[in-house]
């Protein structure tokens, strides 16, 4: 039986399509409008609202909370100050990424982790030697994201407490007489905020947000528009860029942080005072140079893409909705060298872009590769160029 989020009753009233997908057993909007491009431009030009309530939420509390987090998570938590959050990953003993999430530090002994997949049993199994309590708060809170250039004006009109909030900072405040947590985070690559709201107050707070956003063009957006914005931002999505190593059948389905382009999270890996899970395997990978892949961006010039169709008398119709499959990559000799995990036409950049996994020798920016496309039921390769991520990174995101 599919469940609905605490925000669903109001958001369902705003949906023209009633198109819903399944996220962790909850109905999640695929799109609200007849075209997801309208929602996408709402985020890029004004503000969009996305229901993130299906995220799993875990309190990590106790005298050993910091020490526990230092062991479980690959990114060092010890320098994280109260009122700050950070993106992190956790790995298995062989150094392969299990999952990713965001962890919030409320005090010296209290953290909150949000993740897309369930981790209660795993965290509790690791907690036994520590003076720490793991509490599943997933159903205690509704959560939502407000993303886009007008997001600050909307949220600040509801609570002045966010006026000086820095990127990845958060504050406990009140909106519509409800205690909420507002963080300057998001999955759009743009200026944005996320909120955690007590479940019983969800609709009251949402109504206040919708009213405050009316003058700023705030509109809800669904998973298709979310995918468009996060690809432009070069953000990996579990189930697309990678799967949890715990569910993999072979090493071909497991990836290390360096192979996923997440090696930057491992600053201080050589500090022997923090032997986190997977550390020895990752250090060995680096010492021996055994990384199989590099994660890069690829771009296809519009003229090259159009020529695929023009040369066959077919009108080219670039599709902004990301394709739902991997697209193979080749070198100039038609040898397969990798694959794009995400590929789409970017309305802002006006060219096709992709997040790709290539063999390390092809990872330098400017390297020419070829991506497989289907035209007239035939596989045709079109030229692409390796580039750095992200594709879209406006100054307002962090300023």
Domain range annotation of the chain: 8-55+139-221, 294-395
Of 30, 2, 25, 3, the closest CA to residue 15 belongs to 30
Q: In the prediction, which pLDDT does 314 show? A: 92
Whether the CB-CB separation of 33 and 317 falls below 8 Å is answered with no
Whole-angstrom distance, CA of residue 138 vs CA of residue 24: 11
Summarised one tens digit per residue, pLDDT across range 222-252 is: 999 999 999 999 999 999 999 999 999 998 9
Q: Is the peptide bond before 390 cis (omega within 30 degrees of 0)?
A: yes
Take residue 59 and report the two structure tokens written for it. Answer: 């309190």
Read out DSSP for 49-80?
EEE-TTSEEEEEESTTHHHHHHHHBSS--TTP
Summarised one tens digit per residue, pLDDT across range 181-214 is: 999 999 999 999 999 999 999 999 999 999 999 9
Whole-angstrom distance, CA of residue 50 vs CA of residue 350: 24
Take residue 128 and report the two structure tokens written for it. Answer: 């036994």
Whole-angstrom distance, CA of residue 230 vs CA of residue 123: 28
Q: Answer yes or no: CATH 3.30.1360.120 is held by domain 8-55+139-221.
A: yes
Same fold, 8-55+139-221 and 294-395: no
List the CATH code of the domain at 294-395: 2.40.30.110
pLDDT tier at 1 (50, 70, 90 boundaries)?
confident
Say yes or no to pLDDT of 317 above 90. Answer: no
Neighbours of 388 (CB within 10 A): 11
Summarised one tens digit per residue, pLDDT across range 335-346 is: 999 999 999 999
Say yes or no to pLDDT of 263 above 90. Answer: yes
Count each helix (H run) and each strand (E run) in the chain, helices first: 9, 19
Give me Rg for the CA atoms of the chain: 22
Stretch 299-325: mean pLDDT, rounded? 92
């Amino acid at each position: 039986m599919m469940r609905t989020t605490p925000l669903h009753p109001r958001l369902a009233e705003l949906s023209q399509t009633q198109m819903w997908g399944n996220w962790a057993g909850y109905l999640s909007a695929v799109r609200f409008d007849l075209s997801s491009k309208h929602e996408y431009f709402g985020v890029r030009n004004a503000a969009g609202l996305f229901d993130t309530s299906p995220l799993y939420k875990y309190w990590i509390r106790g005298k050993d909370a910091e020490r526990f987090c230092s062991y479980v998570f690959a990114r060092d938590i010890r320098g994280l100050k109260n009122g700050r959050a950070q993106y992190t990953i956790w790995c298995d003993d062989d150094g392969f990424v299990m999952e990713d999430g965001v962890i919030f530090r409320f005090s010296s002994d209290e953290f909150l982790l949000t993740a897309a997949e369930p981790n209660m049993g795993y965290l509790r199994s690791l907690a036994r030697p520590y003076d720490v309590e793991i509490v599943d708060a997933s159903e205690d809170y509704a959560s939502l994201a407000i993303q886009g250039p007008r997001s600050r004006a909307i949220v600040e009109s509801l609570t002045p407490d966010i006026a000086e909030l820095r990127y990845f900072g958060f504050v406990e405040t009140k909106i519509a007489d409800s205690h909420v947590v507002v963080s300057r985070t998001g999955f759009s690559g743009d200026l944005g905020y996320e909120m955690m709201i007590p479940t019983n107050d969800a609709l009251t707070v949402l109504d206040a947000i919708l009213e405050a956003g009316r003058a700023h063009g705030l509109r809800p957006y669904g998973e298709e528009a979310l995918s468009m914005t996060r690809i432009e931002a070069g953000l990996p999505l579990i189930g697309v860029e990678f799967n949890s190593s715990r569910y993999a059948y072979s090493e071909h389905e497991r990836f290390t942080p360096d192979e996923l382009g997440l090696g930057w999270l491992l600053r201080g890996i050589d500090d022997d005072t923090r032997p986190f899970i997977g550390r020895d395997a990752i250090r060995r990978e680096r010492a021996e140079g055994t990384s199989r892949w590099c994660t890069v961006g690829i771009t296809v010039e519009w003229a090259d893409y159009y020529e695929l169709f023009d040369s066959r008398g077919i009108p080219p119709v670039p599709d902004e909705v990301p394709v739902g499959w991997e697209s193979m990559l080749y070198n100039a000799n038609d040898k397969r060298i990798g694959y794009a995990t995400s590929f789409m036409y970017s309305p802002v950049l006006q060219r096709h872009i992709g997040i790709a996994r290539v063999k390390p020798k092809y990872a330098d920016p400017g390297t020419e590769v070829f991506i497989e496309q289907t035209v007239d039921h035939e596989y045709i390769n079109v030229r692409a160029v390796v580039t750095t991520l992200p594709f879209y990174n406006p100054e307002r995101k962090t300023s």
